[in-house]
Amino acid sequence: MYINEYGNPNNPKLILLAPMMISGANLYDLMSPYLKGDYFIIAPDQGGHGKAGAYISADDEYRQLKSYLTDKDYKDIKLVYGASLGVAVAWRLFWDSDFNLERAWFDGVALNKSSKMAEVLVCNLFRKRKKQLDKTHVEASKSLVDWYGYDFAKMMTKNFERITLSDIDAICHACCTYDMKPLSKEHQAKLHLEYGEKDFDLKLSRKSFAKYMPDVKVVIRKGYPHCGYMAAHTREYVEEIEDFTNR
Q: What mean pLDDT is reported for the chain? A: 95
User: Per CATH, is 5-111+181-245 categorized as 3.40.190.10?
Assistant: no
- Please report the pLDDT score of residue 134 as a whole number: 86
- pTM across the whole model: 0.94
Tens-digit pLDDT profile for residues 113-161? 877 888 899 899 889 988 988 888 888 888 889 889 899 889 999 999 9
Q: Which of 242, 178, 246 is nearest to 213 (CA)?
A: 178
Short-list 29, 22, 35, CA closest to 14: 35
Classify residue 7 as left (phi > 0), alpha (psi -120 to 50) or beta: left
How far apart are alpha carbons 207 and 16 in whole angstroms? 27
How confident is the model over 1-25, as a mean pLDDT?
97
Mean pLDDT, range 33-44, rounded to an integer = 97
The pLDDT confidence band at residue 11, using thresholds 50, 70 and 90, is: very high
Query: What integer is the mean pLDDT of 58-73?
Result: 98
Q: Phi and psi at residue 179, in whole multiples of 5°?
A: -85, 100
The share of the chain scoring above pLDDT 90, in percent, equals 84
Domain-wise residue ranges, the chain: 5-111+181-245
**pLDDT tens for residues 185-231?**
999 999 999 999 999 999 999 999 999 999 999 999 999 999 999 99
Q: How many Å apart are CA 141 and CA 145, to the nearest integer?
A: 6
At residue 117, the pLDDT reads: 84
Is it the case that residue 34 has pLDDT exceeding 90? Answer: yes
